[in-house]
């Protein structure tokens, strides 16, 4: 099954507009279905506040949206480069505390503080990424986990600044609003941030930069040998990811209004992001969002049903293990593959073309090429699948 990324790769690998047009042209129906699905999704997300029966459900929706933003932000690193970070929870925590401290100590307006904090988190991601990304694979994961543990230590111990375990209260940005209105406003803010993150992911996915990142994911040695500045690319995308994660964390701080190091610098937050993105599918734009819908709702359910027991840890662990073992590509590709098998049984990875079709195709290509390079023999060109 050709995934979206493979198609863009094929298109970018052969310069000129014709191959791209040829690849995407045969599936206009698929394109329409895609656009329709996106519109339905957007409509569903935007109409949720009107449909939510009570403020609790609305706040649960905000939590799920927050997870969606976080795991989409995570997916900048995880999806493009294949580097798994378990420490993105710490970046969100930094964004949250940064926003809160800038509001309470420096007296900045809430949303200015949010942006400044996110920029600070992105700046901090440079040295972290420098240490973590110089070497391959394992060290990156180790650093990402260490980041969570060290920040938890620091923020718990440094109580004169952070309030320590007593927590830190963040003043509300809209003091006049009642609770349900407050939720409603922040629901749309989170939705806007999600849209922004998805747009950025989509743009990178289609760019040359994204192509380089995906080359790192597939084979870092070969990518490096072909001249991709792998370290710089990895660092840039890590910083972008950290910036979005910081924004999500800061927005959470403004919404929730009360921060505790144990929850802000929890290894669990990071693992939820990974689980959501993997479950949905890291190579898909909407994979993390789908994963966040499933896992986020399940988590809320667990909170209501089992309360304070540790069963949600077991459920998270078992689900993560199952996804890693049996569905490392995620739900979306699995469902897509199933649909393809059910509705288009004729299509397989090996494309069968009869001699007659091939002759017609070549003739068409020759005609297309005629005005550009009239001198060359059109028929001699190799046939690209």
Partner 1 sequence: MPSGALLFQSVILGLLLGGLYALLAAGLTLYFGIMRVVMIAHSAFLILAAYLAWWSHSRLGVDPLLSMIVTVPLFFGFGVLLQRMLLARLRPVTLTMMSVLLTFAIALTIEGLLGYVFTGTQRRIQLGYGSASFGLFGARIAVVKLIAFGLAAVALLTLYLLMKKTTFGWALRATIQHRDAARLVGIETERIAGYGFGIGLATAAVGGTALALDTTIYPSLHWHWIGPLMAIIVVGGLGSVPGAAMAAMVLGLTQSLLQIPLGTTWAQTIFYLALFATLAFRPQGFFGGRLAQRF
- What are the residues binding partner 1 (CB under 8 A)? 82-84, 86, 127, 130-132, 134-139, 141-143, 145-146, 149-150, 153-154, 156-157, 267-268, 271, 274, 278, 309-321, 324-325, 328
- Going by C-beta distance under 8 Å and a sequence separation of 6 or more, which residues neighbour residue 243? 118, 119, 121, 122, 125
State in angstroms the smallest separation of the CB of 284 from partner 1.
17
State in angstroms the smallest separation of the CB of 226 from partner 1.
18
> In terms of CB distance, is 200 or 298 closer to partner 1?
298
> In terms of CB distance, is 47 or 139 closer to partner 1?
139
The rounded distance, in Å, linking the Cα atoms of 246 and 89 is 9
φ/ψ of 67, rounded to 5, equals -60, -40
Sign of the Cα torsion 270, 266, 303, 250 reads negative
State in angstroms the smallest separation of the CB of 83 from partner 1.
7
Let me know: does 120 contact 98? Beta carbons within 8 Å: yes
**Closest Cα to residue 241, out of 274, 200, 211, 212?**
200
> In terms of CB distance, is 221 or 357 closer to partner 1?
221
State in angstroms the smallest separation of the CB of 8 from partner 1.
21
> In terms of CB distance, is 46 or 232 closer to partner 1?
232
State in angstroms the smallest separation of the CB of 306 from partner 1.
10
State in angstroms the smallest separation of the CB of 277 from partner 1.
11
- Going by C-beta distance under 8 Å and a sequence separation of 6 or more, which residues neighbour residue 180? 55, 58
The rounded distance, in Å, linking the Cα atoms of 87 and 158 is 20
DSSP three-state, residue 258? strand
> In terms of CB distance, is 68 or 323 closer to partner 1?
323
Structure tokens that stand for 206 in this block: 């289609």
Q: Which helix (H) or strand (E) holds 168?
A: strand 168-169
> In terms of CB distance, is 57 or 142 closer to partner 1?
142
């Amino acid at each position: 099954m050709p995934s979206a990324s493979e198609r863009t790769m094929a298109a970018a690998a052969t310069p000129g507009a014709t191959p791209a047009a040829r690849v995407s042209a045969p599936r206009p129906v698929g394109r329409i279905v895609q656009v329709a699905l996106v519109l339905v999704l957007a409509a569903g997300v935007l109409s949720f506040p009107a449909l939510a029966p009570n403020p609790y459900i609305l706040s649960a929706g905000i939590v799920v949206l927050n997870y969606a933003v976080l795991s989409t932000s995570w997916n900048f690193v995880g999806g493009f480069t294949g580097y798994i970070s378990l420490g993105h929870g710490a970046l969100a925590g930094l964004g949250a505390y940064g926003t809160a401290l800038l509001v309470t100590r420096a007296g900045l307006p809430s949303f200015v503080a949010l942006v400044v904090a996110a920029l600070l988190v992105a700046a901090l991601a440079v040295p972290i990424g420098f240490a973590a990304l110089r070497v391959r694979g394992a060290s990156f994961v180790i650093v990402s986990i260490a980041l969570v543990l060290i920040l938890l230590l620091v923020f718990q111990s440094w109580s004169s600044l952070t309030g320590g375990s007593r927590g830190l209260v963040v003043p509300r940005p809209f003091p006049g609003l009642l609770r349900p209105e407050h939720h409603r406003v922040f629901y749309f803010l989170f939705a806007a941030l999600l849209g922004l993150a998805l747009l950025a992911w989509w743009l990178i996915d289609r760019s040359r930069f994204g192509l380089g990142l995906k080359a790192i994911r597939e084979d870092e040695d070969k990518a490096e040998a072909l001249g991709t500045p792998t370290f710089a690319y990895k660092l840039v995308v890590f910083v972008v990811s950290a910036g979005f994660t910081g924004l999500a964390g800061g927005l959470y701080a403004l919404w929730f209004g009360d921060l505790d190091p144990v929850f802000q610098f929890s290894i669990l937050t990071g693992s939820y992001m990974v689980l959501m993105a993997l479950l949905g599918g890291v190579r898909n734009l909407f994979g993390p969002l789908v994963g966040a819908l499933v896992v986020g709702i399940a988590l809320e359910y667990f909170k209501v049903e089992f309360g304070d027991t540790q069963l949600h840890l077991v459920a998270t662990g078992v689900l993560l293990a199952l996804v890693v073992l049996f569905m490392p590509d995620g739900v979306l590709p699995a469902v897509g593959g199933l649909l393809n098998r059910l509705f288009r049984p004729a299509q397989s990875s090996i494309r069968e073309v009869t001699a007659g079709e091939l002759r017609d195709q070549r003739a068409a290509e020759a005609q297309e090429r005629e005005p550009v390079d009239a001198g060359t023999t059109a028929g001699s060109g190799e046939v690209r699948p």
